Structures are given as structure tokens and as C-alpha cells.
């Protein structure tokens, strides 16, 4: 069977329409090339780009699967002691999300999850619009997942987030006294001036399940299609009259947000925004890749290969074509050919060798260990020296308590990269699990010398000392583990027991209390997750079976308005 999507009404190949209007075109998206388009891997680069350009009091239009707003957790809790008055101190402490009182040396102050905070704080941004993907809108017609997320943030810091309300399908709130609006592309209101346009490539590839509180779905993400393509996104922005004079585009592959097979969509956005006329070679390249993605989605491997081969022939230096081909050949069982394509992609663009060039992490997070292992083994077929894929494989083996096999994999990594901190640490953990205490202590000490700030490592070291009856060393290791952010019920119980042994009753009681609270929280999260799953299922049944959607939607909005 061969499906010709080019003649289908659902053809992904759209053109960016030229505006037929007499309004000023200055900065109108797609009407004129935008000179300042900055691309980056990590989205916090946008903040640094705005800062460098000296922007002040601008409107930010943030198009992203994620809000990327969180409080900056000031690196140093000692800043609290700079308060001049008790009133000032109280005000600082009320902003709970900003302070982490235990030492967190590892934490970067500005990162991909919070870079909008400093931009608001420093006056770079005066108003912030977050456009979330249409797929965030649930079956009830409302972005309830996003509303829940904001309500949760508000409960953490009621002083920082205020006036949360839903109006005309837009969620509005005030953050640090500045107006924030979250809405879908369709509900974006007219913007009065040129904006800082900030796009994350993961906006295009978002999935509905991400917003249902259930995380990513377990389906084959290699066959996923974007819910919107770059030219459609830009056409819709243009139709909304969005004007921009500075654009930031993040790929966000690292961390598993944008699938690497679609990193090129970010590049495509950049080219479309910076060119008045798109060169023919680019148009053909994108058309081929899009067709290839569609064929891949329907598992038409020959057709998909033909399209990506055509793309590679058109622009031989385009790494993404080769990378996409690697997967397709692999699916056909042509492993050598697949490996050659992968290696060519990495030669052309070394970022294609990233730890996130497969979906092992996603499957691992979903506890789909077989599928995670298949992902890691695929990368190892293409590149047997790929340390991160081997690490992932070893981790899944360890999760299955296949300690000996995991140990073999960790040793294999360390043969090539003796200073790999994660492999050193995890090997130490395997020794702990196998009761090889002396080996574990040596190995974990080596891991600490390579990464002295990892709380888990100290925790396992504590376990090894504890097993050997070396109480003082165990206590010190556990205390350090807590200091570096490791929290577990078992750790608190052990630490409590050690304090008890030293007759430090108050300290022991505190550890037991912390362990109890943590266990309670874990249980609460479990119950809430289960309740949400039941509610979602019930809501879907209502929606699917009884046609109550309309009424349900209206009730939910009126509740939120209150």
C-alpha cells in the first residue's frame, strides 16, 4: 500500500501565506524576515540573550509545552541574614519557593525551568503570555491540567502568585505583580506591540498525555507526528497579528523534551523566520522529511526511507536526514546500514550522539524496562562505545536486580571511560546490593572523588559502613547524604537508629518524624495519583458515553472563576 499524502486534504505541506492586509508589516511574523533569531539547545539561553540585548519592559510571548516559570531558589540561604528588619525577613520567608535552606551546591541558579523568573524580576519582561499546545486542552474542553499546576504553585507561594482566574478560556494570574496569561494559540488575544517571541521546539511535538497527570504515553515515539508543523504555527501567529523583533528558539532535546528526530523543526522555524523567500532546496528538504515522518508514522518503511534518502541527497550535510534513516534501516533489520547512517549523522553534527538520541529514558521513567532496554541496545548496535546508552542499559538491568549483568555493563563503560562518575557510582551501588562491602566502599569513595556533591552516593556509602558496623562513618555518610539533597524513608530510619544508639534521643525522634512524614507524603501522592486516574477515567466515560461534556465544561469554568 502506498499512501500519497501530497494529494490528501490532510497534507502536511502547507505554505506560509503572504498577508493581504494594509496594516504595517513591521515585525509581523512571516511578513518580513526577522534579523534577530537566536537558536539554542537549553531554553534558559533565552534569558541570557534578552539580558545581553538590554531589553526592558517587553511583552514575552512564550510558546512552549512548559511554562518555564518557577522561583529562583537563591543559591545562598544566608541571604536571609541580609534582611534589615524582621518584617523584611518575614516577607522573604513567605516566598517559600525561593528558599532552600539546606545546602544545594549543585543547583544552578538559572535553569531551563525558571529562566523567566529573573527576566520578570529584572524588568526585562513586563507582561508574559504563555501559549501552551492545543493538546493540553482536555476532553472537557479546558486546560485543567495546567490550571491544576498553577493552583499547586500558588499554594506553595500565595504571596508570589495571586488572582488566579479563568476568563474566556484564558488562565490569568499575577506573578510578582505582573500580568501572566496562559492560553492556547486559538485564544491568544491581540498583542499591542512587537513581542519577544520565545519558542520551544517541544511545543510542536507535545502529547496530550503529558497534561493528564499521567506523564508520557508508552507508545512508539519514533512513529510520533508533531501535532502542528512549523509553517502552520507561524501562519497562525501571523493570522493573530503577532509582531516580533527578537526571536529565541530552543531545541530542548537534552532532557528528553523534543525527540531528536524532530530537532530539525526548530531549525526550520529559524530559517522560515529569517528568510523573506524560502530557498527551494529548503522547501524540498522539509517536504521530503515531512513525508518521511508521515510514512514512518504509518510504518511504511520503504516509502519513509525513500523520502529521507531523497532529503539526504538534496542536502547531504543535513544530519537529521541521516539520523532518521538510521532508525528506519534498523527497523528493517539492516543494522549495518543503520549504524552507518547514525555514524554519518554524528559526524555531521556531534549533538546527535547525545544521551537523548533514543527514548530509553522515557520508557525507563514509565517502568517499561523491556522497551527501554530495546532502545539502549539499538544505540549500542550503532555505536558500541556509547557510554550513556550502556549506562541506561545497566540501570535497567539493575532495576531488575540482574546485578551481575549490570556489573558487566558498568565495567564495560569504565574500561573506555574510567572517570565516568555515574558508572562509578552505580557500580558501587551494585556492590552494595550484592553485599560486597569492601569493594563498595572503595568504589563509592572513587565516585565521590569524581562527583563530591551527589547525595545518593553518600547514602549507599552509609549503607556499606552500616552493614560493617562502622556506625560513626555510617552516620557521617548519611548526614552528608541528607545535606546534599538525598531523602528516603530508609535513610531517615537508619539515621534515627544511629542517633538512638548514641542516646541522642531528640535527634533520633526528629529523624523518625522526618521518615514518617516522607512516608506519609509518598502515600498521599500515591492516593492522589490513583484518585486522579479514576476521576479521569470516569470523566472520559461521561464524555464518551453520555454526552455530558458541554455541561461539565461550563460548571468547571464557573468554579475556576470563583
Partner 1 sequence: MVTDGTRVTKNEHIPWRIIEEEAILIDLEEGEVVRLNPVGAEIWNAIDGVRTIEEIVDHICRTFDVSQWKANRDVHRFITSLLRHELVQERSGV
Which positions lie near partner 1, rule CB under 8 A? 77-78, 80-81, 83-86, 89, 93, 100-103, 479, 482-483, 506-507, 510
CB of 28 to partner 1, least distance (A): 51
For residues 307 and 338, the answer to whether their CB atoms sit within 8 Å is no
From residue 530, give the alpha-carbon distance in Å to each of 245, 309, 332, 380: 46, 46, 40, 37
Q: CA–CA separation, 136 vs 249, rounded Å?
A: 21
> Of the two residues 216 and 483, which places its CB atom closer to partner 1 in the complex?
483
CB of 97 to partner 1, least distance (A): 14
Residue 28's DSSP bridge partners are: 243
CB of 105 to partner 1, least distance (A): 11
Residue 39's DSSP bridge partners are: 249
From residue 239, give the alpha-carbon distance in Å to each of 21, 132, 194, 399, 497: 11, 17, 15, 50, 65
> Of the two residues 1 and 101, which places its CB atom closer to partner 1 in the complex?
101
CB of 447 to partner 1, least distance (A): 23
> Of the two residues 83 and 450, which places its CB atom closer to partner 1 in the complex?
83
**Helix/strand/coil (H/E/C) assignment for every residue in 438-503:** HHHHHHHHHHHHHCCCCHHHHHHHHHHHHHCCCHHHHHHHHHHHHHCCCCCHHHHHHHHHHHHHCC
CB of 508 to partner 1, least distance (A): 11
Residue 200's DSSP bridge partners are: 250
> Of the two residues 417 and 487, which places its CB atom closer to partner 1 in the complex?
487
CB of 77 to partner 1, least distance (A): 6
> Of the two residues 371 and 486, which places its CB atom closer to partner 1 in the complex?
486
> Of the two residues 10 and 101, which places its CB atom closer to partner 1 in the complex?
101
CB of 81 to partner 1, least distance (A): 4
> Of the two residues 377 and 483, which places its CB atom closer to partner 1 in the complex?
483
Q: CA–CA separation, 113 vs 59, rounded Å?
A: 19
Sheet holding 125-132, edge to edge: 37-40, 244-250, 195-200, 58-63, 125-132, 178-184, 170-175, 161-167
Amino acid at each position: 500500500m502506498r499512501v500519497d499524502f501530497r494529494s490528501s486534504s490532510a497534507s502536511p505541506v502547507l505554505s506560509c501565506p503572504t498577508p493581504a492586509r494594509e496594516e504595517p508589516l513591521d515585525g509581523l511574523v512571516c511578513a518580513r524576515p526577522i534579523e534577530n533569531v537566536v537558536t539554542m539547545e537549553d531554553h534558559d539561553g533565552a534569558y541570557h540573550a534578552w539580558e545581553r540585548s538590554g531589553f526592558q519592559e517587553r511583552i514575552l510571548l512564550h510558546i512552549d509545552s512548559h511554562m518555564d516559570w518557577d522561583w529562583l531558589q537563591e543559591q545562598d540561604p544566608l541571604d536571609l541574614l541580609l534582611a534589615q528588619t524582621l518584617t523584611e525577613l518575614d516577607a522573604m520567608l513567605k516566598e517559600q519557593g525561593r528558599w532552600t535552606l539546606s545546602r544545594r551546591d549543585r543547583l544552578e541558579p538559572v535553569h531551563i525551568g525558571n529562566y523567566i523568573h529573573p527576566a520578570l524580576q529584572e524588568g526585562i519582561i513586563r507582561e508574559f503570555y504563555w501559549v501552551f499546545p492545543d493538546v493540553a486542552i482536555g476532553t472537557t474542553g479546558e486546560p485543567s491540567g495546567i490550571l491544576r499546576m498553577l493552583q499547586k504553585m500558588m499554594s506553595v507561594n500565595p504571596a508570589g502568585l495571586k488572582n488566579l482566574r479563568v476568563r474566556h478560556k484564558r488562565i490569568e494570574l499575577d506573578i510578582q505583580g505582573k500580568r501572566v496569561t496562559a492560553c492556547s494559540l486559538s485564544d491568544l488575544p491581540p498583542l499591542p506591540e512587537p513581542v519577544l517571541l520565545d519558542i520551544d521546539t517541544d511545543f510542536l511535538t507535545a502529547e496530550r498525555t503529558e497534561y493528564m497527570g499521567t506523564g508520557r504515553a508508552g507508545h512508539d515515539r519514533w512513529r510520533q507526528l508533531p501535532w502542528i508543523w512549523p509553517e502552520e504555527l507561524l501562519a497562525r501567529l501571523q493570522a493573530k497579528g503577532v509582531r516580533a523583533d527578537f526571536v529565541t528558539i530552543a531545541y530542548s532535546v537534552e532532557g528528553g523534551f523534543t525527540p531528536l528526530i524532530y530537532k530539525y523543526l526548530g531549525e526550520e522555524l529559524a530559517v522560515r523566520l529569517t528568510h523573506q523567500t524560502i530557498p527551494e532546496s529548503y522547501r524540498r528538504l522539509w517536504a521530503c522529511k515531512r513525508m518521511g515522518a508521515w510514512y514512518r508514522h504509518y510504518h511504511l518503511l520503504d516509502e519513509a526511507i525513500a523520502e529521507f534518502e531523497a532529503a539526504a541527497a538534496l542536502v547531504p550535510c543535513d544530519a537529521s536526514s541521516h539520523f532518521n534513516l538510521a532508525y528506519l534501516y534498523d527497523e528493517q533489520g539492516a543494522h549495518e546500514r543503520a549504524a552507518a547512517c547514525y555514524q554519518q549523522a554524528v559526524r555531521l553534527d556531534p549533538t546527535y550522539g547525545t544521551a537523548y538520541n533514543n527514548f530509553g529514558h522515557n520508557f525507563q521513567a514509565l517502568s517499561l524496562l523491556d522497551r527501554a532496554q530495546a532502545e539502549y541496545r539499538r544505540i549500542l548496535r550503532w555505536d558500541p562505545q556509547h557510554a550513556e546508552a550502556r549506562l541506561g542499559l545497566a540501570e535497567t538491568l539493575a532495576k531488575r536486580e540482574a546485578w551481575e549483568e549490570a556489573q558487566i555493563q558498568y565495567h564495560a563503560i569504565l574500561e573506555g571511560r574510567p572517570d565516568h562518575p555515574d558508572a562509578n557510582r552505580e557500580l558501587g551501588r551494585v556492590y552494595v546490593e550484592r553485599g560486597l562491602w569492601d569493594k563498595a566502599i572503595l568504589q563509592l569513595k572513587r565516585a565521590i572523588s569524581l562527583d563530591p556533591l551527589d547525595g545518593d552516593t553518600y547514602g549507599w556509602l552509609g549503607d556499606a559502613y552500616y552493614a560493617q558496623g562502622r556506625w560513626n562513618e555510617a552516620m557521617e555518610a548519611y548526614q552528608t547524604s541528607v545535606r546534599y539533597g538525598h531523602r528516603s524513608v530508609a535513610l531517615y530510619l537508619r539515621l534515627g537508629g544511629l542517633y538512638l544508639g548514641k542516646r541522642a534521643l531528640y535527634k533520633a525522634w526528629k529523624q523518625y518524624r522526618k521518615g514518617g512524614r516522607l512516608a506519609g507524603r509518598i502515600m498521599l501522592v500515591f492516593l492522589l495519583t490513583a484518585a486522579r486516574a479514576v476521576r479521569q477515567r470516569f470523566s472520559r466515560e461521561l464524555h464518551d458515553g453520555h454526552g455530558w461534556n458541554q455541561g461539565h465544561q461550563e460548571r468547571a469554568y464557573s468554579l475556576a472563576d470563583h
